Amino acid sequence: MGGGIRFEFGGGFGGFQQQRQQPQRETNDLYQNGSRVTNITKSAWDNDVLTDDKFVWVVEFYAPWCPHCKALKTEYESVAKNLDGIMKVVAVNCEKEKAICQSVGVEAYPTLTVIAEGQVLKQYGGQKVSATMTKWALENLPNHVRTVRDAAGLKALYRECEKSQWKVCVVFQSGRADPSPQAKTLAYRFRNNTVVAEVKTSQEDVMKELMATGAGVTAVCGAGDRLVPYVSDKFTAGRIQNWMVSFATGIKCMEGMRIEHGSDLGYLKRSQLDSLVEYLGKRCVACYDKSEYEKMIYAAMTEKGMSHLEL
């Protein structure tokens, strides 16, 4: 029979009820395998999104039956492409993951937010256009980039480089008015390990001190002891990140050195000696002066049958 009406008996003593059959809502994910946008489950939400202290997340909360969500799909996938390597761009299907959407207080679809360290920083309220959404996301990326405006500021930065966990700073040289997305995301990601700074290419005295001639990135080892430029035709956050991480042990700042067994290591700084000891697979817990480091290093070289060490 037509009309979409069904009859059923129930309610105790054969009560008569009439109900209109409701159409079934769509529940399948809008973003399928191969999309740049990842669908987030409750497990990923709890273990990745809320606990991540390295990346900032852009999250869309949607319902697959929502016309506005369907219309947004292509634009949001463009946002994911624009922010590749800069921010994590994901989506939550509220028909499947109701608990997540309720915990955030989602009241309308689609809802876009920026989340950092488990906290919602901002909710989007602009046009659903990829360029506008990308700009909004980058504006809400926390800025931990240190600004250096003169040679004195660079000298002050050098002192901080030596105190950082990696004993190195990373300086972006840029002609932009604001810090680049690459600088901002890497400064946020490694804020507990090193200092990321930015100088303007128009600052001739600072550029001269860095021995830089144009836009690029330079690693400052220790208190300006050595400058190592980033050399690549790929200026992506992922490539620069891999290069930055190579300085974590301290050995990258010592590349090209040749250390002869028994030679005087008095010219090396304590942080460099620590790196050498670690590089040789040892730990010098009780080393308080350089002579003790030298004994440890030469003992390790003897143990490995090394007459010299090429870095």
Domains of the chain, by residue range, sit at 38-139, 146-246, 256-310
CB-CB contact of 150 with 203 (8 Å)? yes
DSSP 23: P
In the chain, % of residues over pLDDT 70:
92
Q: Model-level pTM?
A: 0.78
The per-residue pLDDT for range 249-300, each reduced to its tens digit, is 888 888 777 888 888 887 777 777 888 888 888 887 778 788 888 888 888 8
The per-residue pLDDT for range 30-71, each reduced to its tens digit, is 999 999 999 999 999 999 999 999 999 999 999 999 999 999
CB burial class (10 A; 0-12, 13-18, 19+) of residue 280?
A: middle
**β-strands 146-147, 195-200 pairing:** parallel
At what angle are helices 290-303 and 270-279 packed, to 10 degrees?
A: 20
CB-CB contact of 4 with 21 (8 Å)? yes
- What does 287-304 look like in DSSP terms, one character per residue? --SHHHHHHHHHHHHHHT
Superfamily of domain 146-246: Glutaredoxin (3.40.30.10)
Q: Is the peptide bond before 67 cis (omega within 30 degrees of 0)?
A: no
Which CATH number describes the domain made up of 38-139?
A: 3.40.30.10
The per-residue pLDDT for range 21-34, each reduced to its tens digit, is 556 788 999 999 99
CB-CB contact of 162 with 151 (8 Å)? no
- pLDDT-based confidence at 308, cuts 50/70/90? confident
Same fold, 38-139 and 146-246: yes
- What does 42-65 look like in DSSP terms, one character per residue? HHHIIIIITT-SS--EEEEEE-TT
172: pLDDT strictly greater than 50: yes
**β-strands 119-123, 111-116 pairing:** antiparallel
CB burial class (10 A; 0-12, 13-18, 19+) of residue 227?
A: middle
Q: CB atoms < 10 A from the CB of 98, how many?
A: 13
